[in-house]
Amino acid sequence: MKKFTEVVSSETLSNLIVEGMLEMKASDVQIFDLRDIKHSVADFFVICSGNSDTHIDSISQLIEKNVFEKSRQKPWKKEGFENKEWILIDFVDVIAHVFNKEKRAFYALEKLWADAKISILEA
């Protein structure tokens, strides 16, 4: 008989994503709590920056690995692995964004989602 795992809360999932980011030494890690924003696309955005294509790829891979090992959650959708400028890993209720610094500054999600409760984390 197949054993099903319990679905983790979006808050727990965002914390698992942060763990992966911090373990790989991602910089400027922020959690956007979007739960009180009407018509938001997710409960949380978790955003960080990497220093190089290799670093961005490693951060993204560890996020997926950490989330799967601790919650058995797989991403619903992933994008950006080809160019490694902005990798998006969509777990439906929580979306991880791994940016290079230039793209992060250009898209400025902090300004776009300024109504969110934003937590800034130190490594």
- Say if residues 48 and 30 touch (Cβ distance below 8 Å): yes
Show me where the domains of the chain are located.
10-121
Query: CA 65 to CA 48: how far, in whole Å?
Result: 17
- Say if residues 112 and 104 touch (Cβ distance below 8 Å): no
Nearest partner of 116 among 47, 40, 64, 49, judged by Cα: 40
In the DSSP assignment, the letter for residue 75 is -
Render pLDDT for 34-88 as a digit per residue (tens, 0 to 9). Answer: 999 988 999 999 999 999 999 999 999 999 999 999 999 999 999 999 999 999 9
Q: Which CATH number fits domain 10-121: 3.90.1170.50, 3.90.1150.10, 1.10.760.10, 3.30.460.10?
A: 3.30.460.10
pTM of model > 0.85: yes
Tokens of 16: 């698992």
Render pLDDT for 84-113 as a digit per residue (tens, 0 to 9). Answer: 999 999 999 999 999 999 999 999 999 999
Query: CA 91 to CA 13: how far, in whole Å?
Result: 8
Taking residue 59's Cβ as centre, other Cβ atoms within 10 Å add up to 27
